[in-house]
Amino acid sequence: MKALILAAGEAKRLRPLSADIPKCMLPIDGKSIINYQIENLVAAGITEAVVVTGYMAEKLEDHLVTSNPDFSFIFIRSKDYAKTYPAHGLWLAKDCFTEDCLYLNADVICHPHIISCIVEDPRGSVTAVQRNPWDEEEVNVILGSDSSQVVELGKYISKSLNDGEFIGVTKIAAGFGQTLITVLDDFIAKEEFKKFAADALNLTIQRGESLYALDVSHLPAIEIDTKADLDAAQDKLAAIQNDPDTPCFTK
């Protein structure tokens, strides 16, 4: 299995910290955000990743290759990163979805067991969910009656319907991926360039594909969008380092 990492965005909400460096290269305890991800992928047995770059692409690509000499990277540069949303990055890398693939956003710090347990989960397409308090800025999820399956996800889900937060770590099985490709192709054909990755996943679910939920509420994870998130990521990282062997239970 290979990973697909979306890393094209400008991270305007983190300026001036991101004015001269891609967000995922920002250091926490002396190591870049994205290199924590690469370590977690290797720990899960994944040694190859397709990375969609855009903002300061050459700087990020050089950083990844130089700091991870034993890892295999395939880079896809988005020329339109400044005027498109993440679903466009998925479309650029849609060939990944012809086989099982682990999709990540490049700005996620998480416990390594989240990735390894999703990779090992036998249920097909699986996404990590945390039972966090509702936040209108996050991608929220609605789960089925037994909480094992995502029935809807997006930024528009109300507090009354919300069952948790999508954290951007998702295994996409080949069957789900084929339908996802048709969704992404539809976006491009209709010139709907400002769609989130969650929008594409949600439409794939609505077209009949199953996306299972792995509850990782007990494991540290955060998607970094703001300075407050970056500060909180330091605490999340400390929690991971203090308890690296916390088990991850698949429902």
DSSP reduced 3-state for 110: strand
Decide if 106 is inside a domain.
yes
- With respect to residue 74, please indicate whether it lies within any of the assigned structural domains: yes
Q: Answer whether residue 250 is part of any domain.
A: no
CATH of residue 79's domain is 3.90.550.10
Residue 229 has pLDDT above 60, yes or no: yes
- pLDDT, averaged across the chain: 92
Question: 151-206: per-residue pLDDT in tens?
Answer: 999 988 999 999 999 988 999 999 999 999 999 999 999 999 999 999 999 999 99
> Do the domain assignments include residue 52?
yes
pLDDT tens per residue, range 12-46: 887 887 888 899 999 998 899 999 999 999 999 99
What DSSP string describes 137-205? TS-EEEE-TTSSEEEEEETT--TTT--EEEEEEEEE-HHHHHHHHHHHHHHHHTT-----HHHHHHHHH
Per-residue confidence (pLDDT) for residue 250, from 0 to 100:
45
Number of domains in the chain: 1
Residue 231 domain-assigned (yes or no): yes
Cβ–Cβ under 8 Å, residues 37 and 169:
no
Range of the domain at 204: 2-242
Q: Does residue 249 lie within any of the structural domains?
A: no
